[in-house]
Amino acid sequence: MDVLGRYRNLIVLVGVLFAQVLGLAVQVKRTTDGESTHLIRIWAVGAVTPLEKALGWVQTSTGNVWHNYFYLRGVRAENRELKQEIERMRLEQARITQDADQARRLQALLAFKEQFISQTMAAQVIGSSGSEQSRSVYIDKGEHDGIKTDMAVITKDGVVGKVLRVFRSTALVLLIDDQSSGVGAILDKTRLQGILRGTPAGEVVLEKVMSDENVPVGENVLTSGGDGIFPKGLPVGKVTKVVPGSDLFLNIRVRPAADLNRLEEVLVVTKIDERQAQPDQSGAMRAVDILAERLPTVPTKPENPAEGAVKPNAAPPTATTGSTPPGTGVAKPKPSIGIGGTATATPQGTGAANASTSTTGAVKKPLENPLTKPSSPPVNPAEKPKPQPPAQDTPQ
Amino acid sequence: MAITYTSGEQVEVYRFSIPATILIPLTAVFLQAWLPLRFPFFTIFDLPLLVTIGFATARRNPLAGLFTGGLIGILQDALTHQPIGLYGISKTVVGFGASSLGIKLDVENSGARFLLTLLFYGVHEIIYFLIARGLVSLHLEWSWTHEIWSGVANAILGVVLYALLDRVKQRT
Alpha-carbon gap, residue B159 to B111, rounded angstroms: 8
Please write the tens of the pLDDT for every residue from B119-149: 999 999 999 999 999 888 888 888 899 999 9
- Tally of helices (H runs) and strands (E runs) in chain A: 6, 12
Q: Which pLDDT belongs to residue A304?
A: 54
* Binary contact (A130, B32; C-beta < 8 A): yes
Q: Which residue has the higher pLDDT, A95 or A281?
A: A95
Mean of pLDDT values over A246-275: 87
Q: Per-residue pLDDT for A387 more than 80? A: no
* Binary contact (A9, B100; C-beta < 8 A): yes
Interface probe, candidates B22, B30, B37, B84, chain A, greatest A C-beta count within 10 A: B37
* Binary contact (B33, A133; C-beta < 8 A): no
CA-based nearest residue to A343, from A140, A100, A176: A100
Q: Per-residue pLDDT for A282 more than 60? A: no
**In sequence order, what are the residues at sequence separation of 6 or more whose Cβ sits closer than 8 angstroms to the Cβ of residue A111?**
A276
- Tally of helices (H runs) and strands (E runs) in chain B: 6, 4
pLDDT band of A210, cuts 50, 70, 90: confident
Q: Which of residues 22-51 of B touch A (CB under 8 A)?
A: 26, 29-30, 32-34, 36-37, 40, 43-44
Radius of gyration of chain A from its Cα atoms, rounded to whole angstroms: 30
Amino acid of residue A84: Q
pLDDT band of A357, cuts 50, 70, 90: very low
Alpha-carbon gap, residue A8 to A16, rounded angstroms: 12
Return the DSSP state at A382.
G
Q: Which pLDDT belongs to residue A343?
A: 36
Q: Which domains does chain A have, with CATH numbers?
A: 42-72+113-276 (2.40.10.340)
| pLDDT > 70: percent of chain A | 63
| Nearest CB partner across the interface for A16, out of B26, B66, B136 | B66
CA atoms lying within 13 Å on the CB side of residue A186: 14
- Tell me the chain B residues in contact with residue A201 when contact means C-beta distances shorter than 8 Å: 141, 143
- Tell me the chain B residues in contact with residue A131 when contact means C-beta distances shorter than 8 Å: 43, 76, 79-80, 82, 87
Please write the tens of the pLDDT for every residue from A369-383: 444 444 444 444 444
Burial of A371 (0-12, 13-18, 19+ CB in 10 A): exposed
Alpha-carbon gap, residue A174 to A162, rounded angstroms: 5
CA B172 vs CA B17, B166, B169: distances in Å: 11, 14, 9
pLDDT band of A315, cuts 50, 70, 90: very low
* Binary contact (B75, A47; C-beta < 8 A): yes
Contact B81, A129 (CB under 8 A): yes
* Binary contact (A180, B81; C-beta < 8 A): yes
Q: Where are the domains of chain B?
A: 3-171
| Nearest CB partner across the interface for B89, out of A8, A20, A262 | A20
Helix, strand, or coil here: A20?
Answer: helix
Size of chain A, expressed as the number of residues it contains: 396
Q: Determine the distance in angstroms separating the CA of A279 from the nearest CA of chain B, rounded to an integer.
A: 44
- DSSP symbols for A76-112: HHHHHHHHHHHHHHHHHHHHHHHHHHHHHHHHHHTT-
Contact A353, A363 (CB under 8 A): no
Q: Per-residue pLDDT for A362 more than 60? A: no
Please write the tens of the pLDDT for every residue from B38-70: 888 899 999 999 999 999 999 889 999 999 999
Lowest mean pLDDT segment, chosen from A59-68, A143-152, B76-85, B110-119: A59-68
Q: Which residue has the higher pLDDT, B14 or A3?
A: B14
Q: Which pLDDT belongs to residue A50?
A: 87
**Dihedral sign computed on CA atoms, order A385, A358, A287, A276:** positive
Q: Which pLDDT belongs to residue A11?
A: 92
Helix, strand, or coil here: A54?
Answer: helix
Asked whether the ipTM of the predicted complex exceeds the cut of 0.90, the reply is: no
Q: Which pLDDT belongs to residue B62?
A: 92
Model pTM score: 0.69
Please write the tens of the pLDDT for every residue from A101-135: 888 777 777 766 666 777 889 999 999 998 888 89
Q: Which pLDDT belongs to residue A61?
A: 81
According to the CATH classification, is domain B3-171 in 3.40.50?
Answer: no
Q: Which residue has the higher pLDDT, B166 or A33?
A: B166
**In sequence order, what are the residues at sequence separation of 6 or more whose Cβ sits closer than 8 angstroms to the Cβ of residue B22?**
none
| Nearest CB partner across the interface for B85, out of A20, A132, A174 | A20
Please write the tens of the pLDDT for every residue from A52-90: 888 888 877 887 777 676 667 677 888 888 998 998 898
